[in-house]
Chains A and B, each alone.
Chain A
């Protein structure tokens, strides 16, 4: 039982981190950035950078590198299209993810690579008769620390306050002097930090790296954002946590014969949630126009 609780908390925390990165960019740009998956892939790839440095260096390199990649993505791909309609931006994000995955396949090969970035976390610790994986504990601690730090940034820093205001009503925020480029760049940079962290945790959990490793996380993040409530950062984190908990709780509760239908059941529950609360768990009606 305790093991299931830790598994659920770990997966929920990881999904919450993924969802926050997507929700941030959606909040300020009304853009569902599917290229977020490519950022996770870049983060994973940076963990295999040559050099033989200690693992903290690789972790920092990955997070910092993805942050830079996210900023470059905004500056090169999305800023020139500012003001374009939603479908144009969506197609651009698909083009980016396809292009970057293809590039990764060329540079790194299309076969899965083994990465053992945090070997010391491969063991487990006993707790009340259950075996808890160190990686689960590390994932929970990292995700909670990141979310607390991010929450403090949003709540107490002037830039964080501007990001919150812009997420609610970008047009009005600009009329008060909030610089659009600065806020959008901040959202992409923070999104990059979330993607980089998610990449490190994913690779540490699975021990593998593929060019398409970001595809499933970005879909999970998208679903979590919808469950939580489009436009709400806290909703996205909650949606991610709910999805993670469901993903662990259902297999544990279902009989063996029903296990193949696990994902179908998870998404049926998602549909039921949305039928009851179409605006998401944290109902935050999307206000303002996309810019």
Chain B
């Protein structure tokens, strides 16, 4: 469904990505893990059309999406949930959700999706008239995931959805991702919470200094000693 080939992205003289390639198959969940500054977010913003790669190719459903604008890419079916949530804090919860329906032409189906999502995330229905900025971090995370789902994406891209959340809300987020995966939504997930995300993933990539260092099936990667040493600590290797 998504194929990134030899992607190079720079911020002035600094190379953030230096030849990254990855594939996301339809219906799969792919995790990208790596330390801070590895280039994970740059990869996602490039896929969403916000950053212009210097070299490389990004193809979605067989067609190149390189050079397309973000508002066109979401219409093709890629929705990004960026890090730090990015709710429109002065707009109400309901208005935030309605913005997720901007790309929808099927108004009735979109309204039905909105009702379904408010059932799945009851707190959003309870707080629909409140400014989104007054929600807690966990509630805001639910809001931005629901808002992205209202775009009815073929590929949902999430950047650090568990960042800054308490354990209870982390569980809600990961359970939501599992149910989305079970429902057939294709997911590309970037996380520092490496173990939990790789455990869910069909395929995982480890990125460091703008390069893919390791890749493989989620379960196999978790058993890989080199990966365990890098991301789960020496204790995990001993285990």
Residues of A within 8 A of B (CB): 158, 161-162, 164-165, 168-169, 171-180, 284, 287
The answer for the CA separation of A165 and B91 in the assembled complex, in Å, is 7
A177-B71, A180-B71 given; A168·B89 CB < 8 A:
yes
Closest 9 CB pairs of A and B: A177-B103, A177-B102, A172-B86, A174-B70, A177-B74, A165-B88, A168-B88, A174-B71, A176-B99
Q: Which residue of B lies closest to A165 (CB)?
A: B88
Provide the residues of chain A in CB contact with B91, threshold 8 Å.
161, 164-165, 168
Asked whether, in the complex, the Cβ of B95 is within 8 Å of the Cβ of A161, the reply is yes
Provide the residues of chain A in CB contact with B98, threshold 8 Å.
158, 161
Asked whether, in the complex, the Cβ of A176 is within 8 Å of the Cβ of B50, the reply is no
- Apart from A174-B71, A175-B82, A176-B100: 17 A-B pairs, beta carbons within 8 A: A158-B98, A161-B91, A161-B95, A164-B90, A165-B88, A171-B50, A171-B86, A172-B86, A173-B99, A174-B69, A175-B74, A175-B80, A177-B75, A177-B151, A178-B99, A284-B90, A287-B89
A168-B88, A172-B88 given; A178·B102 CB < 8 A:
yes
Name, among A161, A165, A172, A179, the residue most crowded by chain B CB atoms within 10 Å (CB to CB): A172
Asked whether, in the complex, the Cβ of A165 is within 8 Å of the Cβ of B70, the reply is no
B147 an interface residue at 8 Å Cβ cutoff?
A: yes
Asked whether, in the complex, the Cβ of A175 is within 8 Å of the Cβ of B99, the reply is no
Nearest CB of chain B from residue A85's CB, rounded to whole Å:
13
Q: What 0/1 readout, one digit per residue, does chain B (40-82) give for beta carbons within 8 Å of chain A?
A: 0000000010100000000000000000011100110001101
The answer for the CA separation of A171 and B70 in the assembled complex, in Å, is 9
Provide the residues of chain A in CB contact with B82, threshold 8 Å.
172, 175
The answer for the CA separation of A171 and B102 in the assembled complex, in Å, is 15
Asked whether, in the complex, the Cβ of A165 is within 8 Å of the Cβ of B89, the reply is no
Nearest CB of chain B from residue A230's CB, rounded to whole Å:
14
Asked whether, in the complex, the Cβ of B71 is within 8 Å of the Cβ of A178, the reply is yes
Interface size on B, residues (CB 8 A): 23
The answer for the CA separation of A271 and B199 in the assembled complex, in Å, is 57
Provide the residues of chain B in CB contact with A180, threshold 8 Å.
69, 71
Tell me which of A164, A174, A177, A179 contacts B88 (CB under 8 A). A164
The answer for the CA separation of A171 and B86 in the assembled complex, in Å, is 9
Provide the residues of chain A in CB contact with B71, threshold 8 Å.
174-175, 177-180
Provide the residues of chain B in CB contact with A176, threshold 8 Å.
74, 79, 99-100, 102-103, 147, 151
Asked whether, in the complex, the Cβ of A169 is within 8 Å of the Cβ of B90, the reply is no
Provide the residues of chain B in CB contact with A161, threshold 8 Å.
91, 95, 98-99
Provide the residues of chain A in CB contact with B89, threshold 8 Å.
168, 287
Could you show 26 A-B contacts with beta carbons less than 8 Å apart?
A161-B98, A162-B102, A164-B88, A164-B95, A165-B91, A165-B95, A168-B88, A169-B86, A169-B88, A172-B88, A173-B88, A173-B99, A174-B70, A174-B71, A175-B82, A176-B74, A176-B79, A176-B102, A176-B103, A177-B74, A177-B75, A177-B102, A177-B103, A179-B71, A284-B90, A287-B89
Nearest CB of chain A from residue B109's CB, rounded to whole Å:
16
Provide the residues of chain B in CB contact with A284, threshold 8 Å.
90
The answer for the CA separation of A161 and B91 in the assembled complex, in Å, is 8
The answer for the CA separation of A180 and B98 in the assembled complex, in Å, is 17
Tell me which of B48, B90, B95 contacts A175 (CB under 8 A). B48
Q: Which residue of B lies closest to A287 (CB)?
A: B89
Provide the residues of chain A in CB contact with B69, threshold 8 Å.
174, 180
Asked whether, in the complex, the Cβ of A175 is within 8 Å of the Cβ of B50, the reply is yes
Asked whether, in the complex, the Cβ of A162 is within 8 Å of the Cβ of B74, the reply is no
Nearest CB of chain A from residue B139's CB, rounded to whole Å:
17
Q: Which residue of B lies closest to A166 (CB)?
A: B88
The answer for the CA separation of A172 and B69 in the assembled complex, in Å, is 13
Q: Which residue of A lies closest to B81 (CB)?
A: A175
Q: Which residue of A lies closest to B132 (CB)?
A: A168
The answer for the CA separation of A287 and B90 in the assembled complex, in Å, is 11
Provide the residues of chain B in CB contact with A175, threshold 8 Å.
48, 50, 70-71, 74, 79-80, 82
The answer for the CA separation of A287 and B132 in the assembled complex, in Å, is 15
Q: Which residue of A lies closest to B104 (CB)?
A: A177
Q: Which residue of A lies closest to B90 (CB)?
A: A168
The answer for the CA separation of A89 and B98 in the assembled complex, in Å, is 32
Nearest CB of chain B from residue A96's CB, rounded to whole Å:
26
Nearest CB of chain A from residue B52's CB, rounded to whole Å:
10
Asked whether, in the complex, the Cβ of A165 is within 8 Å of the Cβ of B99, the reply is yes
Q: What 0/1 readout, one digit per residue, does chain B (78-121) give for beta carbons within 8 Å of chain A?
A: 01101000101111000100111011000000000000000000
Provide the residues of chain A in CB contact with B103, threshold 8 Å.
176-177
Nearest CB of chain B from residue A80's CB, rounded to whole Å:
16
Name, among A173, A177, A178, A180, the residue most crowded by chain B CB atoms within 10 Å (CB to CB): A177
Provide the residues of chain B in CB contact with A287, threshold 8 Å.
89
